Structure 1
Amino acid sequence: MSKIVLFEEPDCRGKWKEFADSVSNLDTESFAKTARSLKVVGKHWVAYKDKDMKGDFMVYGPGEHNNLGCMDREIMSLRLVKEELRNPEIVLYEDVDFRGQLRNIFERVDDLRRAEFNNLVSSHEVKEGVWILYKGFNQTGSRLITFKGEKCSNYCLFDWNDKLSSLRPLLNSDHEV
């Protein structure tokens, strides 16, 4: 069984609240923007700064996270990562609506220039796993997270058209991303 325990104080101390499934709004649990540390058992969890699993995020793997850094007192929603993290695959498309040249990606790519696909991506489809996409090289800059089965047909809708420069799959070994 997977679960996440949020704590009001650093070092997994103080008042706490446990969750076994995703929560779109921690206001309803009286624990919004309260967590200062957390503990993950089982699968990874994604903590978001906004309701409805939107906005900036951090991914937490199994273990104790005694200090949340930029997420300190910022967590508003949580998503349990139910996807298997083996055999990741994402398809990147040059044009919107899954058209144009495409690249099947199976592993971390620090610089899409090497694949002659930098700043060309306008849509994607996740075949397997969970992927984190970055505007900058070497996993820097603004980022998005996308899950198995998700299809994004038009990066123009959120100002990412032709801006993807690197990406990586979430791995079982990741402690914090």
Structure 2
Amino acid sequence: MSQYSGKICFYEGRCFTGRCLEVYGDCDNFQDRGFMNRVNSIRVESGAWICYDHPDFKGQQYILERGEYPEFQRWNSHNDHMGSCRPIRMHGEQYRMELFEGCNYTGQCMELCDDCPFLQSRGFNTNCVNSVRVFGDGAWVMYEEPNFRGRMYIVERGNYCGHNEWQAQNPHIQSIRRIVNYF
């Protein structure tokens, strides 16, 4: 198993009942594998995953780490729609990122190396993050609300010069945490 793979099982019914789709890597469209887009429970056996409510890695993002999710509310969804998924690209255990108030790495800058439940408590003067640089090995989840709540967006190693590059509808980010991968 490579460092980018894992195993996740999607079930049509609640509490791991009904038809099951096992995935070991990128899956851009559940229907292409004969599985409808209705998912009511998920078991993550290894790895950390980004799941999307539409095919082709589009739409609302959900981060799922090792464990059991017997109903869709457990992964903070409002419905049972799921269309694609992929493992999170984990490279190791070094975490570092820079947040910028403005697009193209302008304005106030803040560096993070650990989880932050409320950016303003660390001196970031706004709730707008318009660009991000992710260094090191780890991936991060950015949340629209404090205390790791609200819409979530996953960023991995790389440069993101605008919030649309992490598929956000707006630049509002108020808390950020590291994704710790458990194989």
The answer, yes or no, to whether TM exceeds 0.5 is yes
1:35 paired with 2:26, answer: no
Does structure 1 retain, via aligned residues, the 8 Å contact 2:89–2:156? Answer: no
CA shift, 1:43, in A, is: 0.7
1:160 paired with 2:167, answer: no
1:93 paired with 2:100, answer: yes
1:83 is aligned to 90
Query: Which residue identity does 2:132 align to in structure 1?
Result: H
3-state SS of 1:114 partner? helix
Query: Which residue identity does 2:96 align to in structure 1?
Result: E
Cα RMSD for the two superposed structures: 2.3
* TM-score of the pair, normalised by structure 2: 0.80
3-state SS of 1:100 partner? strand
CA shift, 1:105, in A, is: 0.5
Give runs of aligned pairs for residues 17-36 of structure 1, distance below 5 A. Answer: 17-36=21-40
CA shift, 1:15, in A, is: 1.8
1:141 is aligned to 150
Query: Which residue identity does 2:145 align to in structure 1?
Result: G
3-state SS of 2:151 partner? strand
1:5 paired with 2:9, answer: yes
Name the CA shift for 1:94/1:64 in 2 (closer, same or farther; >3 Å): closer
CA shift, 1:57, in A, is: 2.6
3-state SS of 1:97 partner? coil
Greater CA drift, 129-138 or 113-122 = 113-122
Does structure 1 retain, via aligned residues, the 8 Å contact 2:102–2:129? Answer: yes
Deviations 1:44-73 (Å, cap 9, x if unpaired)? 122211222222232222233222223653
Deviations 1:92-119 (Å, cap 9, x if unpaired)? 1232111333221011112211222132
**Alignment partner for residue 131 of structure 1, among 140, 143, 148?**
140
Quote the Cα distance in structure 2 between the aligned partners of 1:110 and 1:116.
12
Quote the Cα distance in structure 1 between the aligned partners of 2:87 and 2:112.
24
**Structure 1: which 5+ runs fail to align?**
none
Does structure 2 retain, via aligned residues, the 8 Å contact 1:110–1:137? Answer: yes
2:55 is aligned to 51
**Structure 2: which 5+ runs fail to align?**
none
Name the % identity. 23
Point out 4+ residue stretches in structure 1 off by more than 6 angstroms: none
1:110 is aligned to 117
Quote the Cα distance in structure 2 between the aligned partners of 1:12 and 1:72.
16
How many aligned positions are there?
Answer: 171
1:68 is aligned to 72
* TM-score of the pair, normalised by structure 1: 0.82
Does structure 2 retain, via aligned residues, the 8 Å contact 1:43–1:82? Answer: no
Quote the Cα distance in structure 1 between the aligned partners of 2:26 and 2:14.
22
